[in-house]
Structure 1
Amino acid sequence: MLLSPFEWTIAKRYMLPGRGEAFIAMVAGISLAAVMLGVAALVIVMSVMNGFRGELLDKIVGLNGHAIIQAYGGRLENWQSVLKEVKATPGVVRASPLIEQPLLASFNGRVEAILVRGNTQVDINRLEAQKQAGNLDRLKPGAGQVAVGARLAENLGVRVGDVITIINPQGRSTPFGTVPREIGYTVSAIFEIGIYDYDQAFVVMPIQDAQTLLLTGDSIGMIEVKTNDPDKVGQILAPLSKKLAGQAVIQDWKTINASLFEALAVERVAMFIVLSIIVLVAVFNILSSLIMLVRAKTRDIAIMRTMGATRKSLMKIFVTIGFVIGALGTLAGLVLGFVFLFFRQPIVRLIEVLSGQNLWDPSIRFLTELPSRTDPAEVTVICVMALVFSFLATLYPALKAASTDPVQVLRYE
């Protein structure tokens, strides 16, 4: 819808405040600000929700793989043959044996519930990026070295070089009953995955040391699997599931964390709908400002009609005015949203200082920092939605202006 020089001149004149039109200009400014805030809120919230899902998926999958193959009874005896079969499955990128067992750890009188993880050397080396202190290379079979999560280290009060005692209730039988197995391990490294529940419980050691601690012999607890497409992990492992029927069960990341990711999905949709209403309310402001503008310019419209301006020209003028307000508000909202996302962590800290409240408790939020991932497709949908709403809001005032009867308006002039 291209405007002629005459139409564009009139549109620019009406978009700029004149004498006696300060109230109309103020309403138009409020409309622009409302669209800006609505678009910014949508961009910020949707990016944060995407960040939540993405960060949780990356960190959970990065630690536990896309799926877990767990034997019935908790022990997989012939795991070497199963591991070989898993690696041969099309679509499987990586498969690793794993031992995971809840136990207790003590240090200087403090006792904490822990989750012992026995990993291969390759999997232990993958923690290098999350390492905060120490040396992961010291975690060799038989060396008595472990790596602990950062929150667990804080709770126990341990540092690199300290010796913690891991207690296994399933100890050896004696004439006086079962004696819990207690073994001391030197903390060689401290890591932070970024998920509070993991960082406060995980103790990582070589898989051979975990077998010795748990008295499991050569058996393992499970096999973690990573595929080339996490969203199709069920299809990829379906043939393997049939082969292992009665021997082991396969659980993918969707099943293991179903309640968490379903809650995020529901909340994401709900937030989008609620915040879209903000944009809709802002668009009604555009509608009201245009209606007031049309009423204020009724005499000008009648004069332009007598001078030869067509109904189509008048419609184009007022549609352009409203659409420009919506477009500028959308653009300003994008800028505001991206600026907020870029400085999100300092803003959270500033609000915490001003309010005196802890807004981001990792024990509640799962993640240690406010995440953000902007989806270009979603941003495009938000912009298109705001612009379409703005365009629709201009139609009624534009039709009202185009239907003005110059004879009735100028009869007594």
Structure 2
Amino acid sequence: MAQTPPFSRFEWMIAWRYLRARRAEGGVSVMTWISLVGIALAVFALIATLAVRSGFRAEFVDTILGANAHVTYYNITRLNDAGEPERLIPDYLEVAERLRAVPGVTRVAPLVKGQVLAGGRGRNAGVQVYGMAAEDLASLPRIADPEMGTGDLARYGEGVSIGAGVARMLGLLPGDQIKLISPDGAKTPFGTSPRVGVYEVVHVFSAGRYDIDSTRVYMPFAEAQLFFNRDGMADEIEIMLADPEDLAAVMPDLWRAAGNDGLFQTWQDASGAFLRALAVEDNVMFVLLSVLVLIAAMNIVSGLIMLVKNKQGDIGILRTIGLSEGAVLRVFFICGASVGVIGTLAGVVLGCLFALYIDPIFALVNGLSGGGVWDPSIRGIYYLPAQLHWDDVLTAMGLSLFLSFVVTIFPARRAARMNPVEALRHG
């Protein structure tokens, strides 16, 4: 008798009849649906988690790189004339020029920093003042973005720019006055007197990070030098790079340009612990959700074992009329694999839709729960981000299909090796 090619039309026909058969006909359609829904939900959960993971890291890194220095230059600690340790940079203009000449550096900005008490409308809050030149502030994308701020940044030289969180805590709007009080003021025979300054709020920004928006105030560089007693000096120098992810290519040149008095801190140094924790969490979540996919795939085994048991008589008849073991194996493999493929595709569609429409979905959940689902003071960012990467989708799809195909082989193999006589006897 001529051998039929594998996965012939009649094998697909038999498998399809078994899949859609009702329980009264010896089918297990309910178990088929349970298996299919389980696979779909597991793949959906895996893709949604991978998308949120990618979006969270991208948003976190983007807010760091959009509002903070990629690399920060400090002077080594020295003793001043009064015998007190300090790290001020007296020759910041010369150092800035040397650093600006390094290939890959796009921006260099001297900076004066200090912590002060801010007051407005009878409220007080601790803030950190960044003294920065107007042209340097305008080059920070997250601060200067007109869509994320209010007021007029062009008037920065006439006042200060404050974070949206600071404005909210103090009840301030552009045009209001903010009082800044520094404990390190003028030295008198009776001790150090606090320095008090009153400035107009000309701009309110939102960097997308709660910890930045609720603590940061930008002041013109020359005014900050005067306010913090930094006459002719800077506290540090901010450096922006063309490719902040590729620090290894730029750092050797920066060290050479800095000389013996300089120290550097990169954005990865400052946020490295969080990024490493995020990577560990990503790996753990992927493993746990992969186990969830495996558990869902095991439902296919349960359904297929029941199908084989109910179809013992059919198997005996098929073997008697000439079907080979391989043909029987392929019939039941098609049954199990079809459930895995359909469930996987459904999960991929649901996961992609979730990632693409996460904002309205999240708004709906937040509305139904009465608000307060997402606390930016704890999460650090204002919304739940999601970023769909096709390699994550392909990874989830490949994992689900692989597990579905593998677990299907065992009950299909058992059906193929069934003795025709015993199958007819017990069918």
TM-score, reference length from structure 1: 0.93
The alignment partner of 1:231 has SS state of: coil
The alignment partner of 1:371 has SS state of: coil
Q: Which residues in structure 2 correspond to 1:21-40 (within 5 Å)?
A: 24-40=28-44
Q: Which residue of 2 aligns with 1:266?
A: 280
- 1-side partners of 2:75 and 2:122: how far apart? 36
Per-residue deviation, 1:199:
0.5
Which of 212, 217, 226 is the matching residue for 2:231? 217
The alignment partner of 1:102 has SS state of: strand
- 2-side partners of 1:21 and 1:254: how far apart? 63
Q: Which residues in structure 2 correspond to 1:94-173 (within 5 Å)?
A: 94-125=107-138, 126=141, 127-129=143-145, 131-140=148-157, 143=158, 145-173=159-187
Pick closer, same or farther for the CA change 1:2–1:362 going to 2, 3 Å. Answer: farther
Q: Which residue of 1 aligns with 2:105?
A: 92
Do the aligned residues in 1 keep the contact of 2:312 with 2:424 (CA within 8 Å)?
A: no
Which of 50, 53, 59 is the matching residue for 2:54? 50
Q: Which residue of 2 aligns with 1:289?
A: 303
Pick closer, same or farther for the CA change 1:10–1:203 going to 2, 3 Å. Answer: same
Pick closer, same or farther for the CA change 1:198–1:22 going to 2, 3 Å. Answer: farther
Q: Which residue of 2 aligns with 1:394?
A: 408
Q: Which residue of 2 aligns with 1:177?
A: 191
- 2-side partners of 1:412 and 1:347: how far apart? 53
Q: Which residue of 2 aligns with 1:16?
A: 20
One-letter amino acid of the structure 1 residue matched with residue 331 of structure 2: I
Which of 337, 356, 362 is the matching residue for 1:323? 337
Q: Which residue of 2 aligns with 1:308?
A: 322
Per-residue deviation, 1:357:
6.3
Greater shift in the superposed pair: 306-315 or 193-202: 306-315
Per-residue deviation, 1:239:
3.5
- 2-side partners of 1:205 and 1:109: how far apart? 22
Greater shift in the superposed pair: 51-60 or 227-236: 227-236
Q: Percent identity?
A: 36
Deviations 1:309-363 (A, max 9, x none): 1211122222122111111111111111122223323333433444456221000
One-letter amino acid of the structure 2 residue matched with residue 104 of structure 1: L
Do the aligned residues in 1 keep the contact of 2:18 with 2:27 (CA within 8 Å)?
A: no
Greater shift in the superposed pair: 238-247 or 267-276: 238-247
Do the aligned residues in 1 keep the contact of 2:109 with 2:237 (CA within 8 Å)?
A: yes
Greater shift in the superposed pair: 43-52 or 335-344: 335-344
Pick closer, same or farther for the CA change 1:308–1:22 going to 2, 3 Å. Answer: closer
Pick closer, same or farther for the CA change 1:91–1:406 going to 2, 3 Å. Answer: same
Per-residue deviation, 1:18:
2.8
- 2-side partners of 1:273 and 1:357: how far apart? 32
- 2-side partners of 1:95 and 1:2: how far apart? 67
The alignment partner of 1:230 has SS state of: coil
Per-residue deviation, 1:174:
2.7
Deviations 1:354-403 (A, max 9, x none): 44562210000000011111222122111101000000011101101111
The yes-or-no answer on 1:59 pairing with 2:59 is no
Q: Which residues in structure 2 correspond to 1:191-202 (within 5 Å)?
A: 191-202=205-216
- 1-side partners of 2:151 and 2:25: how far apart? 69
Do the aligned residues in 1 keep the contact of 2:39 with 2:343 (CA within 8 Å)?
A: yes
The yes-or-no answer on 1:75 pairing with 2:91 is no
Deviations 1:152-209 (A, max 9, x none): 1010011111011111211112343322111111001111111000000111122222
One-letter amino acid of the structure 1 residue matched with residue 324 of structure 2: T
How large is the RMSD of aligned CA atoms in angstroms? 2.0
Which of 206, 219, 230 is the matching residue for 2:244? 230
Aligned length: 410
- 2-side partners of 1:318 and 1:412: how far apart? 19
Which of 219, 222, 225 is the matching residue for 1:208? 222
- 1-side partners of 2:199 and 2:339: how far apart? 66
- 1-side partners of 2:379 and 2:176: how far apart? 30
Per-residue deviation, 1:249:
1.1
One-letter amino acid of the structure 1 residue matched with residue 96 of structure 2: L
Q: Which residue of 1 aligns with 2:389?
A: 375
Greater shift in the superposed pair: 97-106 or 191-200: 97-106
The alignment partner of 2:246 has SS state of: helix
Do the aligned residues in 1 keep the contact of 2:20 with 2:27 (CA within 8 Å)?
A: no
Greater shift in the superposed pair: 60-69 or 334-343: 334-343
